[in-house]
Chain A
Amino acid sequence: MQLHYQSQAVAKPYFIAAIGLFVGQILFGLIMGLQYVIGDFLFPAIPFNVARMVHTNLLIVWLLFGFMGAAYYLVPEETETELHSPLLAWVLFWVFLVAGALTVVGYLIVPYASLAEMTGNGILATMGREFLEQPLPTKLGIVVVALAFLYNIGMTMLKGRKTAISMILLIGLVGLAVLFLFAFYNPSNLVKDKYFWWWVVHLWVEGVWELILGAILGFVLLKLTGVDREVIEKWLYTIITLTLVTGIIGTGHHYYWIGAPAYWQWWGGIFSALEPLPFFALTVFCFNMVNRRRREHPNKAATLWALGTGVMAFLGAGVWGFLHTLAPINYYTHGTQITAAHGHMAFYGAYVMVVLTIISYAMPIMRGREANSERAQVLEMWSFWLMTVSMVFITLFLTAAGLLQVWLQRIIPNPQPFMVVQDQLALFYWLRWISGVVFLIGLVVYMYSFFVQDKPQPVAAGEVQPATA
């Protein structure tokens, strides 16, 4: 099994870096999980806010590595031409990796206020807002890397075949880059700050990222199932129409209680109540394509990841999002562990799993085989179940904690103070942490599966060894 286009191979370092940063993300998640029950754990060396920055920023960065790797792998094959500049892709890889690493090191060894001072936050204050904590040079670096990356992908598409899959991917990636520019807008009026902060955060994860997700999943399913391209691309357009028609105005579900007019409770409520639809369509799409497959692809693990993405994205983003999206419910659940529960399963189900899907499909091919050995695939599927089931439990335990928190802090006649309530949730936090450890075990199994070889088959003397496919 050979790569169709040699330049696709540049995806490999991106995928390896993605997995490496994923490990870091989970380790810091476990630190935070422990701090929820042993409050002074690692204090003051790694205060909670630092661990959280590392946890969430690593997630964003490794998913971006995954998206870029996916684009470098998928676009040459879709456009039927070599990548415009593999060298540029390699340069950007190192720039992004070093910038990301320096940022995390900065978070860990310099107090945040000093980091802000050292990196020019006084010139243009952009730091200290959730998920956008990166110092100014890092933010500028992200813009430069994104622009050069889009140039590389755009030039490749320009000279080659235009397919719906690559177009949808490109629209998603351009949207990602353009919306990130709102990270530089930080008005001193907190209400305006929050209003446009969501243009990065919500319009990324409930908007343009879903286009990237759809394109990656469509590509992998096309390859795995051999279903007609027309059918797959028609589904994709339908899914992303539902995504953006519901998701753009669905931003309003973040505008209920931050100072925006009350009518957002209706606009946000109605449109975001429809946001599960694209995810439901995605689930139906995945199962439909696999059921109508015209070939039996030997990579069973990749098929499992693709189906898993369909199911878990619907559960995490669709169902767990819907649970608390209507204003009368959100009034009580806003900013509680319910939000954390939704965030964990949605990010895992949609974006983590889609990146692992493309890695599962593409990595064996980049290593010279159509699929991994039986043993490696069995291990990979074990890791799928370990990580996915433990994430379901993390979500369930956080939901239980959230319900109890809402009840004690916001509903009963004599509402209790925050920390009094937190102490009563300790059991659920412990159970969540144990689930997190199982998740880490799943991740270790996942990485181990890359290094597993088939057992050598004993061949009796005098017999002819069958040729391997």
Chain B
Amino acid sequence: MSATFTKSMARNIFYGGTVFAALLFLALTFHTTWKLPQRDHRENLTAEVVRGKHLWETRNCIGCHTLLGEGAYFAPELGNVYKRRGGDFIKVWIKIQPTGAAGRRQMPQFHFTDPQLDDIVAFLKWTSEINTENWPPNIQG
């Protein structure tokens, strides 16, 4: 780099550029936060949904599955599983794990009670109704 471009110029551009980018990002975040209620239908965040999210987290579901495309890629996407399979299927599926089929990927048995299964379904239903700009591309996730 040429001598006319000095280290102190480079440093000032760094600080200026970083502050500018951070402020722009904060402004966009502020706007996003203001817009979110129209997209996440938070009015439907019932106690059931909140408990369901807690169960989702404490069983480390994200360690195998993706949820809205984020997580591990070992097991199916669950952001739209409510639409793909429906609530009853989800409950039965969770209850009959693990399948024990030789050589197949296995899901642990979590010994959920029926109300807990309802909570999980409520959480997955709420999640499936988030406005995700039509992602995933199709029902298979």
Contacts and interface: CB of A to CB of B under 8 A. Distances in A.
Whether chains A and B associate is yes
Interface stretch (A7-15, A45-53, A93-101, A310-318): A45-53
Interface stretch (A236-244, A353-361, A457-465): A236-244
Contacts of A418: 75-77, 140-141
Nearest to A231: B1
Contacts of A264: 28, 32
A191 B36 contact: yes
A200 B34 CA distance: 21
Contacts of B98: 43-44
A62 B105 CA distance: 29
B113 interface: no
A339 B67 CA distance: 14
Nearest to B36: A191
Contact of B17 (A43, A241, A259): A241
Contacts of A334: 69, 135-136
Contacts of A255: 32
B141 A44 contact: no
Interface in A259-283: 259-262, 264-265, 267
A410 B71 contact: no
Contact of A133 (B6, B60, B106): B60
A443 B140 CA distance: 39
B94 interface: no
Interface in A406-422: 409-411, 415-419, 422
A191 B39 CA distance: 9
B88 interface: no
A335 B73 contact: yes
A192 interface: yes
A258 interface: yes
Nearest to A257: B135
B133 interface: yes
Interface in A108-130: 112-113, 116-117, 121, 125, 127-130
Most chain B C-beta atoms within 10 Å of own C-beta, residue among A125, A130, A411, A422: A130
Contacts, number: 225
Report which residue of A38, A113, A193 has the largest number of chain B beta carbons within 10 angstroms of its beta carbon: A113
A186 B7 CA distance: 41
Contacts of A158: none
A249 B28 contact: yes
Contacts of B127: 190
A380 interface: no
A258 B105 contact: no
Interface string B95-121: 000101111111010100000000000
Contact of A53 (B53, B60, B108): B60
A195 B108 contact: no
B10 A113 contact: no
Interface in A123-169: 125, 127-130, 133, 164
From A36, A49, A133, A417, name the one whose CB has the most chain B CB atoms within 10 angstroms.
Answer: A49
A237 B58 contact: no
B130 to A, nearest CB: 4
Contacts of A416: 140
A233 interface: yes
Interface in B6-56: 6-7, 10-11, 13-14, 17-18, 20-22, 24-25, 28-29, 31-33, 35-36, 39-40, 42, 45, 49-50, 53-54, 56
Given A43-B98, A256-B133, A129 B57 contact: yes
Interface in A221-250: 230-231, 233-235, 237-238, 240-241, 244-245, 248-249
Contacts of A267: 28
Contacts of A235: 1
Contacts of A49: 60-64, 72, 74
A128 B57 contact: yes
Interface of B: 1, 5-7, 10-11, 13-14, 17-18, 20-22, 24-25, 28-29, 31-33, 35-36, 39-40, 42, 45, 49-50, 53-54, 56-64, 66-77, 98, 100-106, 108, 110, 126-127, 130-133, 135-141
| In the complex, the 8 A-B pairs of residues with the closest C-beta atoms, listed nearest first | A49-B63, A128-B57, A335-B69, A39-B105, A237-B10, A257-B135, A418-B76, A334-B69
21 contacts: A40-B100, A40-B104, A44-B98, A44-B106, A47-B63, A49-B62, A49-B64, A112-B60, A113-B58, A116-B58, A127-B57, A130-B71, A133-B63, A195-B29, A244-B21, A245-B17, A245-B21, A258-B130, A262-B133, A336-B73, A415-B138
